[in-house]
Structure 1
Amino acid sequence: MIYVLLLVLPAVSCFYVAPFILTFCGQAVGWYLRRKSRDRRAQLLARVQIEEEELHRGKKEEANVEEDGWETIESHVTGWATNGGKAPRDWEGVVGFFHPFCNAGGGGERVLWAAIRATQKRWPKAVCVVYTGDRDVDKSAILKRVEQRFNIHLHSPTIIFLYLSTRYYVLSSTYPYVTLLGQSLGSLIVAYDAFSLLVPDIFIDTMGYAFTLAFSKFLFPAIPTGAYVHYPTISTDMLGSLGEGGQGLNAGTGRGWRGKAKRKYWHLFARIYSWVGGGVDVVMTNSSWTQAHIRSLWGPARAERSKPSDVEVVFPPVAVEELERAVDVSAESERKRERVILYIAQFRPEKNHTLILRSFAEFLNQSPDKQPTKLALIGSVRHSDDATRVYDLRLLAHELKIKENVSFICDASWPEILDWLRKSWIGVNGMWNEHFGIGIVEYQAAGLISVVHDSGGPKEDIVVEFDGGPTGFRATTAPEFAEAFRKVFALSADETLLMRRRARASAGRFTEEAFARRWTSQVEQLVALESSSGTGF
């Protein structure tokens, strides 16, 4: 009996002691990273001060150039400034934004830059640090692209870009197998790279790398973490897509022993993903669809850890007001519109440009009036894979005998996009379970009639009935999209103008001002946690 106890007791002790050892090791590494980045932090803050002084000396008259009506955003959190904490507007901490592809030019990047602008206006003395892997582009070039692509003007001195050398580890191409797990574990390497450059006071992931937030808590338990979730890394819809009749990139891949193995792997990953999300302090999602999935996945773990805040919807910012000013929607503007079907989306596989090309070909083949109609595909090209994808789409257009009717516009500037929105008739989106659909709201704000995939955010939040009538059409298959195109062009002039105006009015729910207020309301909770914990250097 004694020998049995001697054998069992060490194993039991290790079982109970191991978590404490692991926690101690994590915090020891965190202490090391803080110490390692302390000098760099001082240097960066000094650089911010120098740039501020230079800006004020050279451009005093531009100090208040952005008078757009919402630069002063009132506090929504009361009674938090305890332990001598500063008033919210005087907070001077460092907010770290984890966004390795900040220069990509997509909807996720619009959210990032609008979030930084709202943060700058709410806390003028705070410093926004962007951890990016875009090492070939300097600060001025990135900010210039932000202005050209999104028409978002940022306060340059209080933005710092820290360049990651490990972005390779979050590329999907790095992991031909077990991609979800590979990218998630790879994000830990990239996060360590980020923290070794600078440890922030608040850490926010704006790209969907939830594992980095758990890693931050492991290293720095007192640093508040926030997540803006565009799309759950895995969802019940994805799990369901493996079966017969599924949709998306993995449709029907659950057959055979490989399919069964994939299903088990995905279910295991979903459990890990749910546990990881349970530790995030503040969670924002971009749509009702994403909110429902994140609540389902992260909710139980968050409740178990007694997280006080709920998962909140913060609709992405869309340049609704600007589009209303720039694009006329009237009987007169109708005469200037052309039979153009417009698709604004990055050239990524999940955007399903193939479906739209096939739908357009079917529409042209069945169109009774044979009026000339064009399809314009506008999107950013991030890297060689995207460039190859555009080439393949051109080949498909040639095979479908519609190449003369299809235009590819890569990396278009904002003025170019405005021109297309002014003259196009229909705005289309073919992605299954599009998480939100900023481009679709842009269609509506510009008065285009939307034809979108009948799923995700477009179905639940955007292309819905408004003011007693439809704001567009939804479809799933190529024949359904082709039929929707036919219905739009068959509308009378009065019906068309009425639907355009109804869609524009509906888009008013997704303004940049609404985003800024919701964003700052959530981030104020993180500022409150940071102030009360005293995590600052």
Structure 2
Amino acid sequence: MEEDEKAWLAANRDKKTPDDDGWVNISAHSVGASGNGEKGEKEWCGVVGFFHPFCNAGGGGERVLWAAIRATQDRWPSAKCIVYTGDHDVNKDMILARVRERFNIHLHAPTVTFLYLTTRRWVLASTWPYFTLAGQSLGSVILAWDAFSLLVPDIFVDTMGYAFALGLSKFLFKHVPTGAYVHYPTISTDMLQSLDPSSSVGGQGVNAGKGAGAKGVLKRTYWQLFARLYSRVGSSIDVVMTNSTWTQGHIQQLWGPLRRKSKKQNPIVVVYPPVAVSELEEEIEVSEESEKKREAVILYIAQFRPEKNHQLIIQAFSEFLKRGSDAAKSAQLVLVGSVRDDHDSKRVYKLRLLVNELHIKDRVKFHLDASWPQILDWLRKAFVGVNGMWNEHFGIGVVEYQAAGLISVVHDSGGPKLDIVTEVDGKPTGYHATTSSEFALAFEKALSQADPLAMRRRARISAKRFTEQQFAKKWTAQMEKLVAMKV
């Protein structure tokens, strides 16, 4: 890596430095190892290991990874960023090219490299048809051992949610600081409560009501034991970041008591994931002129997975049409999403059957595996953006709705409720709903807005909290704590 850096400097002597591309400018924070202008910290040249076995997947979790590496490179130009990955089918140049194309994030190539793991199959759900949570967690330990056999970093950071990998690191290498960016808790109290049909969340989630009978008792006991183990490994992590207030609350509930006992000084903080807010603002106009081009389209952008609850939104849309109001006369529901495998294809087929049964086939469109330009076209013309997932951990898609100026109708839970669709200047940026009837009423309100442009502008203001620049500053502040433990 040092040789690559020398070669890069020689080839680019007369060109701008890697820090001059305008992506973001990171200034030193108060948590410095040197404590007097951060010179010692700025020149820190250690190795940061990023544990992200699926780094080439191209999803929101990967955007966090690459934005984190970019912020780390900006703050510590001499540091070496190592990514532990299982993507053997792609080399470094191919991965970095996809990062540029997919996320518009330009990394400084000489100080980032990849170490390839051979045991990634152990963290696949398909490897563990039974006791999947425990199996995948054990698999992450195997995968972490694989990673450490290649290189033990100065700082070890997990950006996928493999807390047990961090637990192994702390067990083997006590003096290696560990950091976690938690997208969602592997298990939560809501999951446990969902097993009980009589609880407030008993009818929600993919395991809703499965706590009855002998099999249900076994499942509940297994989850409770797993939650204890999960809490123990979580208590050993030095710096913990979560992607939302909802995730923070559950992680504090699970990890907090033991972290306090072990006297972990760093609080669990929220670092919102980076969203391409600026790009959407540039691509999509929100003005009186653009308002004339909006159509009565309710847009749902989401993968066709069971937790996204497309069925609820289709049923709500059918109820909305039955109202026969002026707002419903020309309304359309557009479902945009990717299809990963045969299971997703069958799910789409069942949704099409439901649309036929409800006699709304001519009012619902399915747009599968849409390209980014096609998604932008829908964001320009749509009126409402909807999200039907219960306890969405954050909701990057909802932020994209706001950045594009859509009026959001989201499930009254999780990140969309607590962090995203909130008031601006005491006025709403969208609507919350839980049942199909509530969603139908929210569609009515959204499409009947007397001044929709005002709400769109408030939504855009709200979205500015989730930019790449905001993420970089908060990420760097937490990374400085880890660097301070090594310098």
Question: How does the TM-score come out when normalised to structure 2?
Answer: 0.92
Change (3 A) 1:157 1:339: farther
Give the structure 1 partner of residue 486 of structure 2: 530
The answer to whether the 8 A contact 2:242-2:269 is kept is yes
The yes-or-no answer on 1:150 pairing with 2:106 is no
Change (3 A) 1:59 1:381: farther
Give the structure 1 partner of residue 459 of structure 2: 503
Give the structure 2 partner of residue 74 of structure 1: 28
Alpha-carbon distance, 1:344 to partner: 2.6
Alpha-carbon distance, 1:377 to partner: 3.2
Give the structure 2 partner of residue 163 of structure 1: 116
The yes-or-no answer on 1:266 pairing with 2:223 is yes
The yes-or-no answer on 1:332 pairing with 2:286 is no
Give the structure 2 partner of residue 213 of structure 1: 166
Change (3 A) 1:81 1:74: closer
The structure with the largest alpha-carbon Rg is 1
2:183 counterpart letter in structure 1: H
> For residues 426 and 359 of structure 2, what CA distance do their matches in structure 1 show?
40
> For residues 341 and 80 of structure 2, what CA distance do their matches in structure 1 show?
30
Alpha-carbon distance, 1:515 to partner: 1.0
The answer to whether the 8 A contact 1:240-1:246 is kept is no
Higher mean alpha-carbon deviation, 442-451 vs 362-371, is at 362-371
> For residues 196 and 312 of structure 2, what CA distance do their matches in structure 1 show?
20
Give the structure 1 partner of residue 88 of structure 2: 135
Structure 2 residue matching 1:61: 3-state secondary structure: coil
Give the structure 2 partner of residue 22 of structure 1: none
The yes-or-no answer on 1:53 pairing with 2:32 is no
Give the structure 2 partner of residue 292 of structure 1: 249
Change (3 A) 1:130 1:356: farther
Specify every segment of 5 or more residues in structure 2 that has no aligned partner in the other structure, as ranges.
Answer: none
Structure 2 residue matching 1:87: 3-state secondary structure: helix
> For residues 378 and 94 of structure 1, what CA distance do their matches in structure 2 show?
41
The yes-or-no answer on 1:412 pairing with 2:365 is no
Change (3 A) 1:476 1:109: same
Aligned to 1:119, which of 50, 55, 72?
A: 72
Give the structure 2 partner of residue 306 of structure 1: 263
Aligned to 1:520, which of 471, 476, 479?
A: 476
Structure 1 residue matching 2:335: 3-state secondary structure: strand
> For residues 147 and 386 of structure 1, what CA distance do their matches in structure 2 show?
28
**Identity rate of aligned residues, in percent?**
63
Give the structure 1 partner of residue 425 of structure 2: 467
Q: Deviations 1:26-79 (Å, cap 9, x if unpaired)?
A: xxxxxxxxxxxxxxxxxxx35xx3266247516843535854373242233135
Q: Deviations 1:439-494 (Å, cap 9, x if unpaired)?
A: 111111111100111001111111112211111011112222222112211112x2
> For residues 308 and 211 of structure 2, what CA distance do their matches in structure 1 show?
22
Structure 2 residue matching 1:432: 3-state secondary structure: coil
Higher mean alpha-carbon deviation, 303-312 vs 396-405, is at 396-405
Change (3 A) 1:243 1:198: same
Alpha-carbon distance, 1:254 to partner: 0.7
> For residues 393 and 66 of structure 2, what CA distance do their matches in structure 1 show?
19
Change (3 A) 1:51 1:349: farther
RMSD value over aligned CA atoms? 2.4
1:407 counterpart letter in structure 2: F
> For residues 114 and 336 of structure 2, what CA distance do their matches in structure 1 show?
28
Alpha-carbon distance, 1:529 to partner: 1.0
The answer to whether the 8 A contact 1:342-1:426 is kept is yes
Q: Deviations 1:69-113 (Å, cap 9, x if unpaired)?
A: 73242233135579xx97111111121111122222222122111
Q: Deviations 1:2-27 (Å, cap 9, x if unpaired)?
A: xxxxxxxxxxxxxxxxxxxxxxxxxx
1:282 counterpart letter in structure 2: V
The answer to whether the 8 A contact 1:104-1:382 is kept is no
Question: How does the TM-score come out when normalised to structure 1?
Answer: 0.83
> For residues 94 and 354 of structure 2, what CA distance do their matches in structure 1 show?
34
| Residue pairs, 1:7-46, within 5 angstroms | 45-46=1-2
| Residue pairs, 1:223-238, within 5 angstroms | 223-238=176-191
In the alignment of these two chains, the number of paired residues is 480
Higher mean alpha-carbon deviation, 189-198 vs 275-284, is at 189-198
Give the structure 1 partner of residue 315 of structure 2: 358
The answer to whether the 8 A contact 1:380-1:412 is kept is no
> For residues 454 and 68 of structure 2, what CA distance do their matches in structure 1 show?
34
Higher mean alpha-carbon deviation, 208-217 vs 156-165, is at 156-165
> For residues 324 and 299 of structure 2, what CA distance do their matches in structure 1 show?
18
Change (3 A) 1:397 1:112: farther
Change (3 A) 1:169 1:142: same
Higher fraction of helix:
1
Alpha-carbon distance, 1:219 to partner: 1.6
> For residues 384 and 65 of structure 1, what CA distance do their matches in structure 2 show?
44
Specify every segment of 5 or more residues in structure 1 that has no aligned partner in the other structure, as ranges.
Answer: 1-44, 532-537
Give the structure 1 partner of residue 58 of structure 2: 105
